[in-house]
Chain A
Amino acid sequence: MALYFFTPFIAIILTILGGGIIFYILGFNPIEALKFYFITPISNLYGFSELLLKATPLCLIAIGLSYCFKSNNWNIGAEGQLTFGAIVGGGVALLFYNQEGFYILPLVILAGAIGGMIFALIPAILKTYFNTNEILVSLMLVYVSKLILDYLVVGPWSNPEGFNFPETRQFSDSSRMPLLFEGLRIHAGIFLALAAVMLSWFILYKTYLGFQIKVSGLSLKTAKYAGFKGKTMILVVFMISGACAGLAGVGEITGPIGQLHRMISPDYGFTAIIVAFLGRLNPFGIIFASLVVALTYLGAETAQIFLQIPKYTGQVFQGMILFFLLASDYLLIFKVKILSLKKNELRH
Chain B
Amino acid sequence: MSSYLCGLDIGGTFTDCVLIDESGRLTIAKAPSTPPNFAAGVMTAIERAAVKIGLEVHDLLDAITVLAHGTTVGTNAIIQRRGAKVGLITTRGHNDVIHIMRGSRGLSGQDIKMIVHIPESSKPDPLVPKKLIRGVSERVDCFGKVVVELNEDEVRQAIIELRDAGCEALAICCLWSFLEPAHELRIKAIAAELAPDLYLTCSAELAPKWGEYERTTAVALNAYIGPTTVGYVTRLDQQLKEMGYKPPLQITQCAGGTITVRKAQQAPLLTLDSGPVSGVTGSVYLGQLMQHPNVITTDLGGTSFDVGVIHNGAPVVSYKSLVNQYEYFLPKVDVQTLGTGGGSKVWIDKTTKALRVGPDSAGASPGPVCYGNGGTVPTTTDADLVLGYLDPDNFAGGTMQLDRDAAVAALQLLADELEMDLFELASGVATIAEFQMADLIRKVTVQKGLDPRDFVVFAFGGAGPVHMGVAARELDVSKVIVPQGDTAAVWCAFGAASADILHVNEKVSIMSSPFDVGRVNGLLAELGELGRAHLAEDGVAADRHQFQFSIDMRHRGQINEVEVFLERGELDAEGLEGLRARFVERYEQLYGHGAALHGARLEMVTFRCRASATSMKPQLVAADSLSDVVAGDAQSGQRDIYWAESKRVETTPIYNGYKLVAGNAVDGPCVVETTTTSMVVHPGQRIEVDRLGNFVIDPAVA
Q: Are A and B a genuine interacting pair, yes or no?
A: no
